[in-house]
Amino acid sequence: MDISPKKELLRFLSEDIQRGDITSALLSNQKIKAKIISRQQGIVAGIRFAKNIFQLKGCTVRIFTKDGSRLKANQTVLQVSGNTKSVLSCERTVLNLVSRMSGIATQTNYLVSQIKKYSKKTNLYSTRKTAPGLRYFDKEAVIIGGGHKHRMALDDMIMIKDNHLLLSNSMEDIIKKARKKHKQVEVEVENQRDAVLAAKYGATIVMLDNFSPVQIKKTIIALQKKKLRNKVKLEASGGINFKNISAYAKTGVDMISVGSITNSVKGLDLSLEVYPQPKK
């Protein structure tokens, strides 16, 4: 995915500042220091982007923790120095981005920990269910939390889903067309029969959509009987959450994808506290 983080950060700032911070303009533009504090425990993510945003406005940043670190409540994340207008004009953009990314990283980290209790080989993947314009940052947060990106965009890998199958001549036909040009081909299926057929026709990844853990285990047995299990990776997807992810990890799938880590984000509670410095 061709993206310039710096351009995106400039866009975020411009979106918030527009023609200027008219409230901060009421203040004397003295030199100040401020710190970002975590109000709750969690995994921090987006620190380098916070630094970049402040630097775009000429501020100096001192970082006290790195991306992926586990924060305690009331822990200082970073300190920023700059003039009043610069620091305050960046405040909300920085907090919004770091809060969102840290929320994603925290959720991801928890789900990964639940998976690894039962299966060392199974990995957690994000989906394309991200906020428009934020995918790069959402996916980075997933990585920081210990998960995997999956596809960043439609041109990354073939993924044949229900509508593709509906509009194609047949599952066999579309898979064989895909395999002529692409090494990796994923096929979404909704039942055991189609899972076996997808593997038989050459899919390299079979997504088991909305399968229960029991259905997944039965599908794995069916693939083993056909000597197809070792030819494909199996991905569990749909309806997987904090409460049931352990049951899915126990099935022996290779991949578990969870859309909620990026489309139902609960941001980490962060705040910026500022304190004026004596004038020289």
The strand pairing partners of 256, in sequence order, are 124, 236
What is the CATH number for 70? 3.90.1170.20
Shared-domain flag, residues 153 and 90: no
pLDDT-based confidence at 2, cuts 50/70/90? low
DSSP run (H or E) holding 165: helix 162-167
Shared-domain flag, residues 156 and 185: yes
Q: Are 87 and 44 in contact (CB under 8 A)?
A: no
Residues with Cβ within 8 Å of 7's Cβ and at least 6 positions away in sequence, in order, are: none
Tell me the pLDDT of the chain averaged across its residues: 95
Shared-domain flag, residues 174 and 230: yes
Shared-domain flag, residues 203 and 270: no
Q: Indicate if the pLDDT at residue 74 is higher than 60.
A: yes
Query: Residue 190 catalytic?
Result: yes
Shared-domain flag, residues 255 and 123: yes
Name the active-site residue from 16, 190, 254, 269.
Answer: 190
Q: Indicate if the pLDDT at residue 276 is higher than 70.
A: no
What single letter denotes the amino acid at residue 59?
C
DSSP run (H or E) holding 63: strand 60-63
Shared-domain flag, residues 16 and 121: no
Shared-domain flag, residues 161 and 247: yes
Specify the pLDDT at position 277.
Answer: 61
Shared-domain flag, residues 66 and 185: no
Q: pTM for this one?
A: 0.93
Shared-domain flag, residues 118 and 133: yes
Name the active-site residue from 66, 161, 193, 225.
Answer: 161
Domain count along the chain: 2
3 state DSSP class of 181? helix
Name the active-site residue from 31, 35, 129, 149.
Answer: 129
Query: Residue 172 catalytic?
Result: no
Percent of the chain predicted with pLDDT > 90: 89
Shared-domain flag, residues 117 and 205: yes
Over residues 108-160, the pLDDT tens digits come to 999 999 999 999 999 999 999 998 999 999 999 999 999 999 988 998 999 99
Shared-domain flag, residues 24 and 147: no
The stretch 75-92 carries a mean pLDDT of 96
Task: Residue 132: give the domain boundaries.
Answer: 113-263
Query: Residue 250 catalytic?
Result: no
Over residues 10-53, the pLDDT tens digits come to 999 999 999 988 888 888 888 999 999 999 999 999 999 999 99
Name the active-site residue from 67, 91, 209, 235.
Answer: 209
Backbone torsions φ then ψ of 159, nearest 5 degrees: -135, 105
What is the CATH number for 157? 3.20.20.70
